[in-house]
Structure 1
Amino acid sequence: MLSVAQAEALILGLVQPFNPEQDSEALNVSGNVSGARGRILARPVTSTLNFPHWDNSAMDGYAVRFEDIQDCSPEHPVTLEIVEEIPAGYQPQRVIGKGQAARILTGSVMPSGADTVVMQENAQRVGNQVTLQIAPSPGAFVRRQGEFYTAGDPLLPAGLVLQAPEIAVLAAAQCAQVRVYRQPRVAILSTGNELVEIDQPLQPGQIVDSNQYALAALVAQTGALPQGLGRVPDDPASLKQAVAEAIASADVVLSSGGVSVGDYDYVEEILASLGGEIHIRAVAIKPGKPLTVATFSRQPETGTTLSIPPSSSPLLYFGLPGNPVSALVTCWRFVQPALRKLAGMPQSGWGPTFVTAKTRTRLSSDGKRESYLWGCLSLVNGQFEFDLVRGSHSSGNLINLAGTNGLAVLPIGKTQVQAGELVTVMLVGSP
C-alpha cells in the first residue's frame, strides 16, 4: 500500500500534458466571454499595440511644460495661458509653447510640447488663464506610451488560465482569437446493482447514484468535460463493455465502486483484460484506501475506434471507492491535480492547496493512515481557523459533507490534535 505522497508522485508522473499543437484549438474571444473563461492558453499571446497606446494624463488637470513651472511657489506663482481643452477621445490640435497650458482630463492624449500634468487641485483657473503655486516633479502624472507593455513583447504566457483580468487584457489588446488547450474529456461511470437514478423510486436496498453527479461537478469545476456514462450492474460482461467504451471516448476515466475486495469487485480484473497497466491498488489514506490507477495506450486492445483527438498522452483510469465521501476525497486529492496537469496548467497550478489553520475542535484519527477530516475553514483576524463538522465522519455519510471547504490532514502516527493547536488543511472550496 502506497503512502499519499507516493501515490501523488506516481499519478502525476503518469500524466503527460497535452501537446500545445496537437491538443489545442482556436478560441474566439469576441462574443464568447463565457466560453473563454477557464480555458488555458496553449501558446503565448503578443499584441501589436503599446500600452498605453500614447502618452496620456493620469489625472484631471493641466498639461504644461515643466521648464515653465519648475520654480513656481506661493511666493512666486506662475500664470499660464490655456490654449486648448483636451477631453477623452480627442486628438490635441495645438503644440504647447512657452507660457502655455492645456486643460486635460484623465486618460486624454498629451499634447505635443507638454511633458507634465498639474493636478487641478493645485491650480487656480480664471477664464483662459491658470495660476500654479506648487511645482510637481518632472513628468508627473503622465503615463508614457508603452510604459505598461511594449508591442511585440510577450503579453500572456502559455499555461495561463483565462479569467476576468486575462480576458480584459485580450480585449484591450484586440486579440480576438487565441490558441487554447482543448478540454480533457472525462468519462464517468458507476458500478453497483444497488444504484438508481435521482428520480427513480427507491426500493429496499437501493440508493441514488450520487457519485455520478458529484464527480461530474468536480470534473467541470476543474475545467474538463464530464461525460456521464451512467450506472453499470455488477456483471463482468456489462462492466467490461462499459469500460472499453469509456476508454475509447475519453482522456481520463473515473469509475466508482468495484475496486475493493468484495465478491462483486471486478474492476481490476477487467482493466487487466483490456490491456491496462495497473500502477496503484491501494493508498494509505482515510477515507479512500481502495484506489486503482491504471494507464492505457490510446488504442485499446478491444480494437474499438477512438472517438477523441489523437494524443501521445496515455489514457488515465481512476477506479475510485464507491463510498461517496471516499470518492470525493480521492478525487480532490489525486484526480483534480492530474486533470490540471493534463490540461496544460503550469506546475504551480496543479494543486491541491494546503494552509495552516488553528482548529477550534479536537481532531482524532487511528493514526494508521493519513486521515482527511472534513469541515469549514474561515479566515479570522488574518489567521485560518478550522471547524470540524458535527456528526459521523463515516465514508458513507455524505450528508454532513455539505458546506465543506477544507479537509484537515492528520499524518500517519498522529492520533489527536487538540483544540487551539495548528493543523494542515487542504482547501476544497473558498474559505
Structure 2
Amino acid sequence: MKPRPASISARPVDDYQDSIEQLLRPLAARTVESVALPRALGSKLAEDIRSPIDLPVFRNSAMDGYAVHAEAVADTPVTLPLAGVVAAGAASPPPLPRGAAMKVMTGAPLPLGADCVVPVEDTNAADSAVTIHRRYRAGEFVREPGTDIRAGDLLIGAGTALAPRHIAALAAVGLSTVPVFRAVRAAVITTGDELVAAGNTLHPGQIYDSNGIALAAALTANRVDVVSVAHSTDDPARFLALLSAATGTADVVFTSGGVSKGDFEVVKHVLEPLGGQFGSVAMQPGGPQGLTVVAGVPILSFPGNPVSTMVSFEVFARPILRRLAGLSEVDCYELPLRTAVSHSPAGKRQFLRGKLLHARSGEAPAAHRPPEAVEVVSGPGSHLVAGMAWADALIDVPAEVTALPVGTSVRVWSL
C-alpha cells in the first residue's frame, strides 16, 4: 500500500472506502476447508454442490392413508380388503394384490402394484377392510423418485452463505461435510488509559470500554470470526505487543482510539513509523482514520469515541465484510425526513442516527413492513452511545448540504 502525502487531509468518504476495499479484497482468496455440516451454518460455500442421490430416494407415500390401484377406486364408495400395513422405514413391502388396499404411513415405500394413496380422512376402516368414499387418480399423493432433485443436479451453488435451509438440503442428500471458505478472522484492540472493562468500579477520569465488545459484536453479526479482543494502555510497548499477537492470528485488525492529534495517540505514534496512513476523512462522526499493513495484515484504525467507532465500522468495514462472507448487501433506502436537520457541517458528509418509520400494513410486524420515512434520533455528538441504541439506521447527509427541511428525501442505511 503506497503512503499518501502527509499534506493530504479530509479525504472524501468514497475515496477512503475504496482504499479499504482494495486492502481487504484479497481476503476473498482465503483457504478452503472441509467442515462438518453442523459447523457450516453461515459459512460461504467454496464450490458447487451436486446431489449424490435422487430425492426422493424411492417411491413413497405423501400421506397417512391407503395404497391402492386407481382402477380399484374408480367407483366409490367401495370396500377393499386390507393386505397389510407399511410403516415409514420399512424395507420393500410385498406387492399389493389387485383389488386390495394396503395401509401406509407418510414416507413409507409404496408396494408394487399401487399407483395412488387415499388419505385416511376419506376412509372408514375395520379390522380387515377399508371403505373408500372418494375417487382418486393414479399419481395422487405419491412421491416419485427424483421429483425433488436428480442425482448429479446442482443442489447449492458456490459462494452461497449457508442458511438453515441449505443445511437441511445438504443433510437430506446424505452429506456430512462441505467445502467452505474459512471465515475472515479479526482481532480487536481498544486503546486508552481511561478505559475500564464493564463490571469494574469507575474511578475519577475513567469510562467503561464499550468499543471492544461493540466491535466484536458487529464483526460476529457479519459472520467474521473474532479471534481476540484486547485493551491497551497508552504505553507504546504494550500496544505493540498486543498488535504483534493480533497480526499473528488475524486476517485483519481493528483498533479504536489513539488516531487523532492529541499528545497520547498511541496507535498513530506506533503505526506511522511502520508506514501507517493517518489523517482526516470528510465525515462526521468518524473524521480521524488510519490504515496500516503490518506483517501483511491490514489494520483499520478508528477513532475512539463510541459512536465514531461504530459509524466507522458501518461505513467502511461492514459492506466489504458482508460481501466476503457471502451475505446480502446492507439495506439502503431513499426516504423522506420526518424531522428537520437544522445544521450539518459544510464540507463534511454527516451520518446522523435515525429511526425507520414503517407504513401500517394489517397486523404485520414492523420488521416485515417497508419503511415509509425516517426521523432523527439523538444528537450528532460522537459520544452519544446511549442515543445510538435507539437508532436502526444511518441518515447520510451529503457534504455539500448544511440543512434539510422536513420532507427532504435522504439516503438511509439500515443498521
TM-score, with length taken from structure 1? 0.78
- From 288, 291, 304, the equivalent of 1:290 is 288
- From 61, 68, 79, the equivalent of 1:64 is 68
Secondary structure of 2:265's counterpart equals: coil
The superposition leaves residues 235-260 of structure 1 with CA deviations (integer Å, 9 ceiling, x where unpaired) of 55554554444333321111111222
- Paired amino acid for 2:182: R
| Aligned position for 1:395 | 382
> 198-207 vs 140-149, which deviates more?
198-207
> 250-259 vs 56-65, which deviates more?
56-65
Instruction: Give the superposition deviation at 1:358.
Output: 6.0
Instruction: Give the superposition deviation at 1:317.
Output: 1.4
| Aligned position for 1:325 | 307
Instruction: Tell me: CA distance 1:407–1:60, structure 2 relative to 1, closer, same or farther (3 Å).
Output: same
| Aligned position for 1:232 | 233
Instruction: Give the superposition deviation at 1:396.
Output: 0.8
Report if the CA contact (8 A) 2:40-2:180 is conserved.
no
CA distance in structure 1 between the aligned counterparts of 2:121 and 2:22, rounded to whole angstroms: 61
CA distance in structure 2 between the aligned counterparts of 1:17 and 1:122, rounded to whole angstroms: 62
Secondary structure of 1:118's counterpart equals: strand
| Aligned position for 1:222 | 222
CA distance in structure 1 between the aligned counterparts of 2:195 and 2:275, rounded to whole angstroms: 28
- Paired amino acid for 1:332: E
| Aligned position for 2:155 | 155
CA distance in structure 2 between the aligned counterparts of 1:56 and 1:357, rounded to whole angstroms: 52
- Paired amino acid for 2:101: A
Report if the CA contact (8 A) 1:375-1:389 is conserved.
yes
CA distance in structure 1 between the aligned counterparts of 2:112 and 2:312, rounded to whole angstroms: 63
Secondary structure of 1:102's counterpart equals: strand
- Paired amino acid for 2:148: F
Report if the CA contact (8 A) 2:378-2:388 is conserved.
no
- Paired amino acid for 1:27: V
Instruction: Give the superposition deviation at 1:272.
Output: 4.1
| Aligned position for 2:397 | 410
- Paired amino acid for 1:354: C
Secondary structure of 2:152's counterpart equals: coil
CA distance in structure 2 between the aligned counterparts of 1:247 and 1:325, rounded to whole angstroms: 26
CA distance in structure 2 between the aligned counterparts of 1:398 and 1:194, rounded to whole angstroms: 17
- Paired amino acid for 2:317: V
Please say if 1:370 is aligned against 2:338.
no
Report if the CA contact (8 A) 1:189-1:230 is conserved.
yes
Secondary structure of 2:248's counterpart equals: helix
Secondary structure of 1:109's counterpart equals: coil
Moved >6 Å (runs of 4+) = none
Instruction: Tell me: CA distance 1:245–1:105, structure 2 relative to 1, closer, same or farther (3 Å).
Output: closer
After superposition, residues 254-265 of structure 1 pair within 5 angstroms as 254-265=254-265
| Aligned position for 1:15 | 24
CA distance in structure 1 between the aligned counterparts of 2:354 and 2:107, rounded to whole angstroms: 48
Instruction: Give the superposition deviation at 1:319.
Output: 0.9
Instruction: Tell me: CA distance 1:354–1:226, structure 2 relative to 1, closer, same or farther (3 Å).
Output: farther
Report if the CA contact (8 A) 2:334-2:409 is conserved.
yes
Instruction: Give the superposition deviation at 1:179.
Output: 2.9
Instruction: Tell me: CA distance 1:371–1:170, structure 2 relative to 1, closer, same or farther (3 Å).
Output: same
Report if the CA contact (8 A) 1:219-1:226 is conserved.
no
Give aligned pairs, total.
395
CA distance in structure 2 between the aligned counterparts of 1:295 and 1:38, rounded to whole angstroms: 28
CA distance in structure 2 between the aligned counterparts of 1:391 and 1:249, rounded to whole angstroms: 38
Report if the CA contact (8 A) 2:55-2:149 is conserved.
yes
Instruction: Tell me: CA distance 1:200–1:84, structure 2 relative to 1, closer, same or farther (3 Å).
Output: closer
CA distance in structure 1 between the aligned counterparts of 2:46 and 2:253, rounded to whole angstroms: 23
The superposition leaves residues 299-320 of structure 1 with CA deviations (integer Å, 9 ceiling, x where unpaired) of x3xxxxxxxxxxxxx5221110
- Paired amino acid for 2:379: S
RMSD of aligned Cα (Å)? 3.3
Unaligned runs of 5+ in 2: 1-9, 362-368
Secondary structure of 1:339's counterpart equals: helix
Report if the CA contact (8 A) 2:377-2:391 is conserved.
no
Instruction: Give the superposition deviation at 1:18.
Output: 4.5
Over the matched positions of the two proteins, sequence identity in percent amounts to 33
Secondary structure of 1:85's counterpart equals: strand
The superposition leaves residues 389-431 of structure 1 with CA deviations (integer Å, 9 ceiling, x where unpaired) of 7543311111222243322333344555666666543222xxx
The superposition leaves residues 338-395 of structure 1 with CA deviations (integer Å, 9 ceiling, x where unpaired) of 33344xx33xx26322245565544555164333222444644233256647543311
Instruction: Give the superposition deviation at 1:331.
Output: 1.0
Report if the CA contact (8 A) 1:358-1:384 is conserved.
no
| Aligned position for 1:303 | none
CA distance in structure 2 between the aligned counterparts of 1:356 and 1:116, rounded to whole angstroms: 54
CA distance in structure 1 between the aligned counterparts of 2:244 and 2:356, rounded to whole angstroms: 41
Instruction: Tell me: CA distance 1:93–1:356, structure 2 relative to 1, closer, same or farther (3 Å).
Output: same
Instruction: Tell me: CA distance 1:422–1:54, structure 2 relative to 1, closer, same or farther (3 Å).
Output: farther
- Paired amino acid for 2:34: A
TM-score, with length taken from structure 2? 0.81
Report if the CA contact (8 A) 1:365-1:371 is conserved.
no
- Paired amino acid for 2:231: G
Report if the CA contact (8 A) 1:222-1:336 is conserved.
yes
Report if the CA contact (8 A) 1:37-1:163 is conserved.
yes
| Aligned position for 2:100 | 100
Secondary structure of 1:11's counterpart equals: helix
- Paired amino acid for 1:89: G
CA distance in structure 2 between the aligned counterparts of 1:281 and 1:46, rounded to whole angstroms: 50
Report if the CA contact (8 A) 1:358-1:422 is conserved.
yes
Secondary structure of 2:95's counterpart equals: coil
